[in-house]
Amino acid sequence: MIPRITHEPLDLNALIAATEDPACGALATFTGTVRDTNDGRPVERLTYEAHRQLAEDVLKQLEDEVIERFGVEHCLTQHRVGTLELAEPSVHVVVRSGHRAEAFEAARYAIDELKERAPIWKREHYADGEDGYLEGTPMKTEPSS
């Protein structure tokens, strides 16, 4: 089983292989990476923290919801925790479906909802030596309508 929350570097190919399905003609992926600025401040690295078990449960529930809501065959999500350097992947979403429209729509929904629901916190480390947690989006427990 592929962990949804991990300290290890993310492996997009493992998620793609885990969802391989000859019935699916569409594969949509999203990868979020660490960028070098936020709100005009130079960022050197990020540290992600999570309530591991709760985050695993939330991501599993989200995957199931995406499959049901969009009629896609597969949805897998994975988020990294720990300290990440610039350009390192922090999150992957993989969706497979019969057709591309559903796959794109489902992948976008999955990443947007993951950011709102998952108990994952991001601390930015700035070039001037300061650091701070981002406000983020208030967590929600109910799916978007």
Domain 5-128 is of which CATH architecture?
Answer: Alpha-Beta Complex (3.90)
pLDDT greater than 60 at residue 108 = yes
Check if the beta carbon of residue 49 is closer than 8 Å to that of residue 124: no
Domain positions in the chain are 5-128
Check if the beta carbon of residue 75 is closer than 8 Å to that of residue 110: yes
Determine the average pLDDT of the residues in 139-145: 62
* 63-81 pLDDT per residue, tens: 999 999 999 999 999 999 9
Q: Roughly what angle, to the nearest 10 degrees, separates helices 52-70 and 100-117?
A: 150
pLDDT of residue 137: 57
pLDDT greater than 60 at residue 119 = yes
pLDDT of residue 1: 83
pLDDT greater than 70 at residue 17 = yes
pLDDT band at 5 (very low <50, low <70, confident <90, very high): very high
Tell me how many degrees the CA angle 105-60-68 measures, rounded to the nearest 5: 45
> What's the mean per-residue pLDDT of the chain?
94
